[in-house]
Each structure stands twice: as C-alpha cells, then as structure tokens.
Structure 1
Amino acid sequence: KLPIQRLRNIFFKSENLVELVLTNLFNLEHIDFHLLDSQRSFSRIVFDNTTVDPENLKEILKPVRRSIKEFRFINNRIEIVKLPKRFFLDYQLGLLDVQNNLFLDWDFLTVTKSRKLLLKNSQALKSSFDLSKFSILYLYCELFDLENIGIHGTFPSTISEPFQHVKSLTVKSNSIESLHNSIDQMFPHLQLLDISYNKIKHLQPDLNNLFYKTEIFKLEGNPLHCNCQVRWLSARYKSKIRDFPRCNFGYRNSNLSESTQSDDLFFSQLATDSLICLPPRAPILSISKAEVPIKLTVSGKDKPNNISIVKKEYTLVMNSNQLVELNCETEGDPTPTLIWSDEVGPILTRHPSSHINHSSNRLTVGLEGSNVSSVYICTASNIEGISFALLNLVSKRVDMSSIHQNTSVVAFERIISNVNNRNCASKFFAQISELNINETLMWQILYIFICIMNKYYL
C-alpha cells in the first residue's frame, strides 16, 4: 500500500503478491509492465484517487487477467477516464467497482463480465446509462449499485434478455419518474430494490408481481401521490417496504382534514380506506383572449348524480367572423383528461372556425359565414367519473329565444342523464338506435358509456 503523493514510477519485484492498492498518487506516470509477471495468487487491485494511463494499465494486468477477481478504480474526479470499449473483455470479475469517477462514456461496460457492478456517483460525458446496451451483463451480474448516475424517465428501458441472476438493485438518487410495467420480468429473482430519492409519483397496479416477488423495498424520498391508485400497495405490501416515503396529496383529499394533509404524512401512517380518488368537477370555461370585450355567461349549476357525471352550461354571444380563445379547467384526482368536442367529434385542428392548442388545452372558436349558432363540449374524465361543460355559441344577429339546441347535443344530454345505474345497458343502446345522429358522435357516446360501466363492473 503506497500512499505516496509524489511517486511518479513504480518498479519492484515480488513473487507472492496478492493485492496492490495505490492511493492518492496524483502524479503517477508509469508502472512497470512486468510488475505482475508470474503472480499466480494475485486477485485484487485498487486505484483510489490515482491517475493512470489505461493502456499502461492494460499491459500491467495482462499476466493476471485470469486470476484477478476484484478491480476497483474509484474516486478519480481529477480527469476524464477513457477506458477502451474492450478493456474488460478477457476478465471475469467477482467485483468491478468504478464509483465516483468521471468517464468519457459507458462503452467499457459493453463486454464487462462481473458478478457485482458498483457505479455509484459516476457520470459519463457522452452517453446516458442504458441497461439495454449492456446485454452481456445479464449472464453474470448479481448486484447492481447504480446510485446517482443520471438515470431518468422510466426505469428500466426495454431490455432484450432478463437479468436472471440479479438479486440486489439500487437506483437511488436518480431522476426516475416511473418503473416499467414489466420490471418483474426483467429482474425475475430480485430480492432488494432501492428506488429511494427519485421522482416517482405513481406506483401502478401492474407492479403487483414485482412487489409480490421482491422481499425488501426502499421508497423514501419519492413524492408519492397518495390516492386510490396506491391502495393495492397499502393493503398488501406495507410489511415489505423500508424507509417509507412522505405523501404528496395534490388535489384535496376530503377524507383528511386540512391540518392532517399539511403535516406531510408518511405513507405508512395512512389507513388504506383513506386513500381515495375524486371525480372531476364540472369544467370551468373562461375567455383567455378575444378581439373585442365579450362576456361568457353561466346558465346552469353543477349537477352531480350517482354515476359521477357533472355538467355546467355556458352561453357566449358574439359577432360573426369573430374569434375567441377559450380555456377549460377542472380539478380531480387523478388529474382528469380534458377533451374538446363539437357536433362532428373531438377537435384536432379545423381553422378558422375552431382550433385547439393541445399544450394548454385552449380552444379558438368562431361563427363562420352564415352560421348563427354552434355547440362545443369540454369533457373531463378520470377513473372516478366524467364531467363536462356545454358551450352554446350564438350570433348577436339573432333573437336568443329563437335559438334551439343542436339535436345531437340534446340527444347527448338525454342519453347521459339516463345512464344512472348498472342495469341500464339495454335502455341505453335502445335510445342510441332511435336517434338520428352521425356515426362519429355515436361512437363518442358509446365510449363514454363504456368508461362509466367499466368503473362499476371493476
């Protein structure tokens, strides 16, 4: 062990060398190529905060490439490490520890064969870490430590072969937002999974098999959204979870008091029946941009019923050939999906009479040519229910009392109002067949009906 900071060259002979540890050798320029010749028992080498030329190192290790079991190259943040792609091709290691380094890329892992791989706090300048690129590891690796190496998005990305031997997987302190639905198939024999201190808000029921098979989980430090979508986790697997995360409630949970929610409770402190979801409120329409001052009036109140459908009706009186930009907003848990529709169907881009900005969910509408009225619907839906806002667009040229609702919209409202229990299917479809409405709108209505029925049958 040579903690000699000014050492530049190493030359020595030994016949029974088992390990070589070089620490804090900032100025090391050369190591004798024959240093490890005839070393039959050599098994471990450590470079700790020590700079060394990779090509020089490759020549030094050539005589012991069959016997070496542990390779540690750690804490080198002084310069960029450029390990050749095939550097570890001839090695079959028990441990490869390359923690806390700054690499040029991860290509050296392409042909790496090691039972344990420690990459904690290492970064690569030219590439992000992607397990699918290192398929040879699935034949050997039993332990991954991938803490703080810049993984983001969904983990893992799709891989060609399952990692049959991996029992411990640490991906702590990355920017992971979700776990892949098939992660249990990618790591079929996993015993410990540490995903703490990431950005995971949702743990979907598709992960049930993962939690069933795996013995220990660490979830601390994730902004887990505590609603009905994680009831399965609370009811079945609390005993397996170590280091519980704090709950992020988002939209108000009516089963918890305001003071309780603000205390930022741990997931383990909540009873399963307090994890609820909330249907969307009736969307609120507002004018975000208009060519001339214009007023949007509300002609109805929220009308909830026992199938979680809520509606609100608006009227907008405007000049012909005038364009108005409308905003549709609502609340619900989970976050509702908003869809703008007209008599034809969901609106994509049909300028100038209507145009939608999908990033902000704003709709630009107008009365074109001889049209004196038009109808638009903003529908909000989540797993708990559906709500919608109905907009009657009317020209100033006509008498308001002479305007009748569009036949299709009347049909839409009448059908929705009758979908009020699980046994209404025959009545519902009978009404559909009696109405003279276009095929697109009919399929819209059927889709909404299926969504509602799906909730109850589940």
Structure 2
Amino acid sequence: MGRLPVSRYTEVLNSQGFKTTKMFCDIVSKEGGKMFLCGHWGAWTILLLWCLSLSSADLTCPQKCSCYPDTSEVNCSSKHLTGVPEGLPNNAKRLDLSGNQMKTIGRRQFSGLSNLVDLDLSENMISMIEVDAFQGLKNLQYLRIKNNRLKIIPVGVFSGLANLRRLDLSENEILVFLDYTFKDTINLQQLDAGENDLVFISQRAFVGLQALKEFNVDRSNLTSIPTEALSQLQSLTKLRLRKLTISVLPNNAFRGLNKLRTLQILQWPSLETLNSNSLVGLNLTTLVLTNCNISDVPYTSLRHLVYLQYLDLSYNPITSIQGNLLGELLRLQELHLVGGNLLSIEPGAFKGLVHFRLLNVSTNRLSTLEESVFHSVGNLQTLRLDKNPLACDCRLLWVVRRRRRLDFDGRQPTCSSPNQVRRKAFRDFSEAELPVIFVCRQAQILNRQLQDTNVVEGTSVRFDCKADGYPSPSITWLSAQQTALSSVGRVRVLNNGSLEVRYTQVQDSGTYLCTAANAAGNDSIAVSLQVEGLPQNHTASYFSDEGWMETSLPTSTNSSAQVSSPYPFDAKTLIIATTMGFLSFLSSVAICFVFMFFWSQSRGQIKHTATIDFVPRSSVGGGGIGGDTGRFTMKLI
C-alpha cells in the first residue's frame, strides 16, 4: 500500500469512529524523504492494524483504469481496451468500459463482481455477447450496451440479471427480437431499443417483462405495430415510437395495454390516417402525435380517451379545429398544435372542456381567435398565439383585455393588421387605444338591386352578392329548399361570393338567400329564379356530365300520346358492336379447331374421315329391332 498523507489517515480514523483531536504530527524534512512524528501512538497503531486488515483484492486496480474507493467506482473508459481487464476490485459498484475496442463479451466475464450495480459497455465494437455473459451480477441494476454492432441477441444472454432495472440497447444493428429474449429480466422497468434495424419482433419476445413500465422504439424498419408482442407488457405505462414508416395506425393497435398512460408517436412522415378504433381500450393521460402527415384532428380516434389531459398534434398539416367535436375529452387540460397550417378554430371547438387551461397554437396561419371557441375563458391560464398573422380587431379584444392575467409563456402576440399597429405587441397597447384599434364594422351587402330572373330550361344563371365590412365578411348561400350550398356541383358558390346555377332545371325555381356575416353582424339579400320548361313537341333535354343534351322529337297530333325515348344507339355504334361480336365468334371457332387438331396429333393417328352407323326411323313408328341399318361417312378437316 502506498504512503498516504496525514489528513487521509485522519479521515480513515474518523470514519472508523476514532477520536483524533489530540493527535499531532510534526513533519521533519530529512535527506531522501520525510518522517512522521506522531504524539498519539495508540491511534497510530490502530490505524496500521486497520490498514493491514484490508483485503488485498479490495486494493487492486487494473493498470489502465482509475479506481475511486470512496465511491467504489472503476473508470476504464476510452483506454483502447480489447477485452474486460483483469484484476478488477471485488467491491466495485460501478464499472465504466465505454469508448473502447471490445468486440466480444464472453461467458461469466464479470462473475467476481457480485456487488456491481452499474455497468457501461457503450460505444465499443461489440458484435457478440455469449450466453450467460452477465452471470454472477446478481445486484446489477443498470446495463448500457448503447452504440455497438449487435445484430442479434441470443436467448439466455441476460440470464442471472433478475434485479436489472434499466437496459439500453439503442444505436445497434439489431434485426429481430426472438421469443423469450428478456425472460430472465423479471424486474426490468425501462427498455430502450431505439435506433436499430428492427424488422420483426416475435410475439413472445417480451415474455417475462411483467414489470416493464417504459419502452422506446426509435427509427426501426418495422412495417406494422407489433401488437401481439406489446400485449405481453401488462405493466407498461409509457411507450415511445419514433421515426417509423407506417402510414396507417390500424384498429386495436395497442390491444391489452390497459395501464398505458403516455403514448408518443413522433416523426412518422408517412402517417396519414388513424383508424377510428386504433386507440380503443387505452386509458391515456398523455398523447403525442407530432411531425406526422395528419391533415385533420382525428376526432373519432380520440373520442374514447376520456382520461386524456395532454394532447400534442404539433407539426402536422392540420388546417382547422372544428366546433363541438372534442367535448368527450372531459379531462383535457392542454392542447398543443404548433407549426401546423391552422387557418381557423371554429366557435365551440373546446365546448364542454371545463378543465381546459392551456392552448398553444403558435407558428400557424391564424388571423384571429374568438372568445366563443372556449367553454369558459375564466379557466384559461396560458395562451400561445405568437407567430400568427393576427388581425387586431374586435375578435381579439378579449385577449388584449386579459393581457395582464394571461400567461403568454414569455412570447407576446403581435398584430399583423391594421397597418398602423403592425408588429405591435399586445402588452404595449394602452387602455385608450383599445376602443380605437380593436373594432369591427358590420358586414353589409353592397348591391341590393332586385335580382329576379326568368329563364328557359337549360340556361345558365349567375347571381352577384358582394359585401363589405371589417373583418372581411364570409358569404353563404341557401337554396330554394333552405339547404346550404357549397363550391362544387351544378349549383355552386364561386370564390367571389356569386351564385352560379348551370343548365337550369325546372326544379331549380325558387328563392335563394345570400348572407354576409362577420364578427360585428350580418346582412342578407334574396334573389328569385323561375325556370320555364321546354315544350314537349319541341325537344327533349337531359343533363349529363357534358352539360345539357337535346334530342329532336316528332310532332304528335295526339296530346295524350307518350313521348318515346330517343333511340339510345346510332348507326356507327351498331356497326362497331356487330363487327366486334362477329370477330369474337370467329376467334372462338378458330381456337376450337386448333385445339382439335393438336388433340388428334397427340393421339398418334390422324383420321381424315369418320363412318357412323345408324338405324333409320320407320315410316310408321320408330325403328325397332331388326330394322334396316344405314351408314354415312363424314370427312374431318
């Protein structure tokens, strides 16, 4: 044992319960060294006896490693080791072998380290771990094999690790998890298998992981959710699936995970659809679906999640949050939708969510956020509206009035319009400015001229409806049957607000209503359309995808005679159809003769004629026994 300073001996004595207050030492320098003179010889003698009682194994330390007795730690990191060093102290609790050049871990290479709690084998070149490699590490709780070259883990590698709590297998080249790979790690709580080349997880791979609470799979080659394998994880509370290439989340994808509380689906650029029952059976409190390709809020998939408190749909191309569709998420407290394409949040979007307290919709395309969106703005605590092109008008007045109480998370919203307050933060507005800037002007239809139109059936008609107001009003049309009209179809609303009725029909007759509306109010105007049918003795018209088709009809002298339908085919069509049928018939006959020819060739004998005997029918009644027979010969081609 090397010589220790006096202070170190004092610490050792104190740790053993000795009093050293009376001990004094004088250091006298002499030629060739130092001499210790101690006045407390009893304590000195006890210290020497205690040092001699230490096990020699506890004092050893491999040449390239650093040992720290105080913490029972051995650091052999980045020492260019090609194998597990010999002579490791038996009392070591933490062993760091990361950053070396080891390629294989043999059987029972750590058998003498029964006190080891933490083992780090990360950042080596390990491609093979033999069965029973960790046998003897009965107290091991943390095992890191991150960033190596493992392709497969043989069954039995983790034998003897009954107390293991955390296992990190990330950043390897593992292709498959075989049945019963983890059967010996019965107390494992966290498994990280991210950044591997996984293509398959066997159905019974996770048998034995009854205590696992957290499982991470990042950037694998899985083509489907390993539902059967995951169903073995009855205690799982957190599941993270990152950078997968699955486009559809199927029904019952996480069947049996009744204790799962947090599900994170991150960076699936190909994920577009969540089936309606994909999350059924889960009791999630946190759901993260970010950096995917989901274009709509998956309302039907979420409706079962009555315990959900935190929902993150950020970085998806979602354009709208519709009204009255999230009401079943009774416990929802936070919604994050950052970096999307949000253009609108409809009134009543969070209706019924009495616990809702945080909304983060920063970095979108929102121009406003109306108070009617929320069940109660009194519950709202945090609102992120920054990095949106906000129009500062009466619709945002409720936000500005609460700018002292609302938490903007340190990122103040700013105005994009009107121009005089462009880029001005909400906190910078004075109370006197609010009734001047944050105002709206009621929608008003500009041209109220009477539009009554009478047309003949088949004519196209357009009705104008232009309106003014601040903010710009929206235009809607109701049909004569009081149904809302859209921008598609024969009767449609154009982008400029006009109504177009193409190829009018008699049933289109009636009164149509145009309504212009904004946050300050609405205005409406009615137009009339009367469509006169064509005379029956003139032409018959019918509407097709190509427009109106007209067919001339013969004049009828009898008013009660029914008009016959025009012949559905012309001469050209009949000629083409007949020719095609005749060609098909000739092709069938030719195929039959070819078949008969080759069949006769396969028989080995070719007969060009066939003779058939027959009994002619009697002139009185049918030929009976003894009647004359006949014969004829048929030539085969």
| Bucket of the pairwise TM-score, normalised by the shorter protein | 0.5 to 0.7
Cα separation, 1, equivalents of 2:322 and 2:484 = 33
Q: Which residue of 1 aligns with 2:73?
A: none
For this pair of structures, how many residues does the alignment match?
349
Structure 1, unpaired ranges of 5+: 283-300, 303-310, 396-458
> Contact 1:205–1:232 at 8 Å: present in 2 too?
yes
2:267 pairs with 1:148: no
* TM-score, with structure 2 as normaliser: 0.45
Cα separation, 2, equivalents of 1:150 and 1:366 = 40
> Contact 1:71–1:95 at 8 Å: present in 2 too?
no
2:478 pairs with 1:356: no
2:155 pairs with 1:13: no
Residue by residue over 1:41-69, the C-alpha shift from the partner in whole angstroms, topping out at 9 and shown as x without a partner, is: 2232334333323432x5312333x5332
Aligned residue type for 1:71: L
Question: 1:363 offset after TM fit, Å?
Answer: 2.0
2:515 pairs with 1:380: yes
Question: 1:121 offset after TM fit, Å?
Answer: 1.9
Q: Which residue of 2 aligns with 1:433?
A: none
* TM-score, with structure 1 as normaliser: 0.59
The residue correspondences of 1:218-297 to structure 2 (distance < 5 A) are: 218-226=360-368, 229-230=370-371, 236-237=377-378, 240-248=381-389, 258-260=418-420, 262-263=422-423, 279-282=442-445
RMSD of aligned alpha carbons? 4.7
Cα separation, 1, equivalents of 2:465 and 2:427 = 29
Q: 1:270 to 1:249 in 2, by over 3 A?
A: farther
Residue by residue over 1:73-97, the C-alpha shift from the partner in whole angstroms, topping out at 9 and shown as x without a partner, is: 3345765224522111121124323
For residue 323 of structure 1, the aligned residue among 459, 474, 498 is 459
Cα separation, 1, equivalents of 2:490 and 2:516 = 21
Cα separation, 1, equivalents of 2:505 and 2:268 = 60
More helix by share: 1
The residue correspondences of 1:363-374 to structure 2 (distance < 5 A) are: 363-364=500-501
Cα separation, 1, equivalents of 2:529 and 2:325 = 46
Q: SS at the partner of 1:217? A: strand
The residue correspondences of 1:43-442 to structure 2 (distance < 5 A) are: 43-56=165-178, 58-64=179-185, 66-75=186-195, 80-82=221-223, 83-91=225-233, 92-103=235-246, 106=249, 108-112=253-257, 113-123=259-269, 128-129=273-274, 132-138=277-283, 141-157=284-300, 159=302, 161-164=304-307, 166-176=308-318, 177-178=320-321, 181=324, 183-188=326-331, 190-200=332-342, 201-205=344-348, 207-210=350-353, 212-226=354-368, 229-230=370-371, 236-237=377-378, 240-248=381-389, 258-260=418-420, 262-263=422-423, 279-282=442-445, 302=447, 311-314=448-451, 323-326=459-462, 328-331=464-467, 336-339=474-477, 341=479, 356-357=491-492, 362-364=499-501, 377-382=512-517, 384-388=521-525, 390=527
Residue by residue over 1:251-274, the C-alpha shift from the partner in whole angstroms, topping out at 9 and shown as x without a partner, is: 987999731465486699798876
Question: 1:180 offset after TM fit, Å?
Answer: 6.3
Question: 1:34 offset after TM fit, Å?
Answer: 0.6
> Contact 1:20–1:44 at 8 Å: present in 2 too?
yes
For residue 30 of structure 1, the aligned residue among 149, 152, 156 is 152
Which stretch has the larger CA shift, 107-116 or 84-93? Answer: 107-116
Q: 1:259 to 1:115 in 2, by over 3 A?
A: same
Question: 1:158 offset after TM fit, Å?
Answer: 5.2
Q: 1:223 to 1:47 in 2, by over 3 A?
A: farther
> Contact 1:245–1:266 at 8 Å: present in 2 too?
no
Cα separation, 1, equivalents of 2:158 and 2:239 = 19
Which of 1 and 2 has greater Rg?
2
Q: 1:51 to 1:102 in 2, by over 3 A?
A: farther
Structure 2, unpaired ranges of 5+: 1-119, 197-217, 398-414, 533-637
Cα separation, 2, equivalents of 1:159 and 1:386 = 38
Question: 1:124 offset after TM fit, Å?
Answer: 5.6
Residue by residue over 1:342-385, the C-alpha shift from the partner in whole angstroms, topping out at 9 and shown as x without a partner, is: 6x877989xxxx9513576642368999xxxx986451244722
Aligned residue type for 1:115: R
Residue by residue over 1:281-333, the C-alpha shift from the partner in whole angstroms, topping out at 9 and shown as x without a partner, is: 32xxxxxxxxxxxxxxxxxx65xxxxxxxx333577x9967834426454565
Q: 1:33 to 1:23 in 2, by over 3 A?
A: same
Percent of aligned positions with the same letter in both sequences?
12
> Contact 2:275–2:301 at 8 Å: present in 1 too?
no
> Contact 1:71–1:93 at 8 Å: present in 2 too?
no
Cα separation, 2, equivalents of 1:267 and 1:321 = 61
Cα separation, 1, equivalents of 2:358 and 2:482 = 49
Cα separation, 2, equivalents of 1:135 and 1:39 = 35
